[in-house]
């Protein structure tokens, strides 16, 4: 009799601050060709949490349609501090997002290198402390550094989000062992954020120990974003199902899958 | 009155509050964040928050991002 397979229950719910989430996929809302495509991709991904950026209103076109109209019901918004190069800018952006009515959840991002969009670890740490102090639930984008991750968690971060590779690069998870080391060292969720290019990359992140993955460009810039969103969903679910199932041990040498007895032999004398 | 709005100085009619400025600009009060001279203005306080000539304001909203 076939038993029921439920990938979602294999992963189980997870929590960030007070937020309970079923989906292990967080999706970005940038770089889609149209908002209709974005909405359909969000739906296909099954995500319950999407990132948004904070930017100036166009004073000359105040009636521009709002992104928020295209966010499916039941999906929570996670404002980011993208564009911030100092702790002060990031803190200000987070305060503005909260004042605009988006709650206390924030994806903290303080960049230190414009070419690599690499996080500034010192400013990131300072901003984490400040935002935690102000009551924010801080999901912090960071370098894949196990020591910094531990320090950020000690400072009160609600999730540690190491980059897999540079933002928008699609290079995948360049150091999977760093993800595993971080996961061993913090008790809050670990989310691989940035660099995921394919479903295989998402699987690798989860197999390395990530509790979730955050994906934007790989979905938005795929030839078919809606299909890719579904592929990412299935990849993440497959990885969690595989984790729950317990993978076989690695061996250095081969071990035959077929019986070694009863092998057909040809004639001794040709 | 003269106000610096999202980085550029502009001339507006005399407006008493931040809320009145948003109405004048045609900007909704929903899902909008306002910074007045570096201080965040709570959304509930838009209509009570006094506006003065030479104030510098940042008015932000949410856009697509990762």
Q: What is the ipTM of this complex?
A: 0.93
How many C-beta atoms surround the C-beta of residue B49 within 10 A? 18
Residue closest to A214 by CA, chosen among A52, A18, A11: A52
Q: How far is A243 from chain B (nearest CA, A)?
A: 27
Q: Answer positive or negative: Cα dihedral of A216, A218, A220, A226.
A: negative
Q: Is the pLDDT score of B17 beyond 70?
A: yes
> Could you give the CA distance from residue B30 to residue A79 in angstroms, rounded to a whole number?
15
| A100 interfacial to chain B (CB closer than 8 Å) | yes
Predicted local distance difference test score (pLDDT) of residue A1: 43
| Average pLDDT estimate for B23-52 | 94
List of chain A residues whose C-beta atoms are within 8 Å of the C-beta of residue B10: 59
Predicted local distance difference test score (pLDDT) of residue A7: 44
> Could you give the CA distance from residue A52 to residue A58 in angstroms, rounded to a whole number?
17
Task: Show the domains of chain A with their CATH numbers.
Answer: 14-245 (3.20.20.70)
3-state secondary structure of B4: strand
Predicted local distance difference test score (pLDDT) of residue A140: 98
- Residue B49 is given by DSSP the state S
> Could you give the CA distance from residue A160 to residue A178 in angstroms, rounded to a whole number?
12
| Average pLDDT estimate for B19-27 | 95
| B41 interfacial to chain A (CB closer than 8 Å) | yes
**Closest residue to B27, CB basis, from A62, A95, A101:** A62
DSSP string, A118-133: EE-HHHHHHHHHHHHH
> Could you give the CA distance from residue A228 to residue A206 in angstroms, rounded to a whole number?
17
| B13 interfacial to chain A (CB closer than 8 Å) | no
Residue closest to A141 by CA, chosen among A77, A210, A82: A82
| B40 interfacial to chain A (CB closer than 8 Å) | yes
**Closest residue to B63, CB basis, from A63, A67, A96:** A67
Q: Catalytic residue at A107?
A: yes
Please judge whether B66 and A92 are an interchain contact, meaning their C-beta atoms are less than 8 angstroms apart. no
Q: Which residues contact A191 (CB under 8 A, 6 or more apart)?
A: A26, A139, A159, A160, A161, A210, A211, A212, A213, A214
Please judge whether B65 and A29 are an interchain contact, meaning their C-beta atoms are less than 8 angstroms apart. yes
Chain A contact probe: residue of B19, B32, B65 with most A CBs at under 10 A: B65
| B34 interfacial to chain A (CB closer than 8 Å) | yes
Residue numbers of A between 23 and 52 with CB closer than 8 Å to B: 28-32, 38, 51-52
CA A16 from centroid of its chain's CA atoms: 13
Provide the pairing of β-strand B2-5 with B56-64: parallel
Predicted local distance difference test score (pLDDT) of residue A9: 57
What percent of chain B shows pLDDT beyond 70?
Answer: 100
DSSP string, chain A: -PPP--HHHHH--EEETTEEES-SEEEE--S-S-HHHHHHHHHHHT-SEEEEEEEE--TT-TTPPPGGGGSPTTPEEEEB-TT--SHHHHHHHHHHHIIIII-SEEEE--EEETTTTEE-HHHHHHHHHHHHHTT-EEEEEE-S-HHHHHHHHHTT-SEEEE-SSSTT-----S-HHHHHHHHHH-SS-BEEES---SHHHHHHHHHTT-SEEEESHHHHTSSSHHHHHHHHHHHHHHHHHHHHH-PPPP-SS---SS-SSS-----S--
The dihedrals phi and psi of A113, each to the nearest 5 degrees, come to: -145, 110
Helix (H) / strand (E) element for B19: namely helix B18-25
List of chain B residues whose C-beta atoms are within 8 Å of the C-beta of residue A63: 26
Residue closest to A40 by CA, chosen among A223, A197, A214, A229: A229
pLDDT tens for the 270 residues of chain A, in order: 444 544 445 678 999 988 899 999 999 999 999 999 999 999 999 999 999 999 999 999 887 888 999 999 999 999 999 999 999 999 999 999 999 988 899 999 999 999 999 999 999 999 999 999 999 999 999 999 999 999 999 999 999 999 999 999 999 999 999 999 999 999 999 999 999 999 999 999 999 999 999 999 999 999 999 999 999 999 999 999 999 999 999 999 999 999 989 999 888 876
Predicted local distance difference test score (pLDDT) of residue A270: 64
The model's pTM is 0.90
How many C-beta atoms surround the C-beta of residue A258 within 10 A? 7
Q: Which residue do the tokens 């564009």 mark?
A: A83
């Amino acid at each position: 009799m076939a038993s029921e397979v439920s990938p979602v229950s294999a992963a189980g719910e997870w929590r960030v601050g007070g937020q309970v989430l079923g989906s292990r996929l967080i999706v970005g809302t940038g770089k889609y060709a149209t908002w209709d495509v974005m909405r359909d991709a969000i739906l296909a991904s099954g995500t319950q949490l999407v990132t948004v950026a904070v930017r100036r209103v166009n004073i000359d076109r105040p009636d521009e349609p709002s992104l928020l109209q295209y966010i499916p019901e039941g999906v929570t918004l996670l404002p980011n501090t993208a564009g911030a190069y100092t702790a002060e800018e990031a803190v200000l952006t987070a305060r503005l997002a909260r004042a605009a009515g988006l709650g206390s959840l924030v994806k903290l991002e303080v960049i230190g290198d414009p070419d690599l969009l690499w996080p500034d670890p010192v400013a990131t740490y300072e901003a984490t402390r400040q935002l935690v102090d102000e009551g924010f639930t801080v999901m912090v984008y960071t370098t894949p550094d196990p020591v910094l991750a531990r320090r950020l968690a000690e400072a009160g971060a609600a999730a540690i989000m190491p980059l897999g590779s540079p933002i928008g690069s699609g290079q995948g998870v360049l150091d999977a062992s760093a993800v595993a080391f971080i996961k061993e060292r913090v008790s809050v969720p670990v989310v691989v954020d940035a660099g995921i290019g394919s479903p295989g990359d998402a699987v690798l992140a989860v197999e390395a120990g990530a509790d979730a993955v955050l994906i934007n460009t790989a979905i938005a810039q795929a030839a078919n974003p809606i299909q890719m969103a579904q592929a990412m969903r299935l990849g993440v679910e497959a990885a969690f199902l595989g984790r729950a199932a317990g993978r076989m041990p690695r061996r250095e040498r081969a071990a035959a899958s077929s019986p070694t007895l009863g092998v057909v032999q040809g004639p001794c004398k040709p | 009155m003269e106000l610096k709005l999202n980085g550029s100085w502009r001339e507006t009619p005399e407006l008493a509050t931040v809320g009145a400025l948003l109405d004048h600009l045609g900007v909704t009060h929903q899902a909008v964040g306002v910074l007045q001279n570096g201080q965040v203005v709570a959304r509930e306080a838009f209509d009570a928050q006094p506006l003065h000539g030479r104030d510098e304001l940042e008015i932000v909203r949410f856009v697509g991002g990762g």
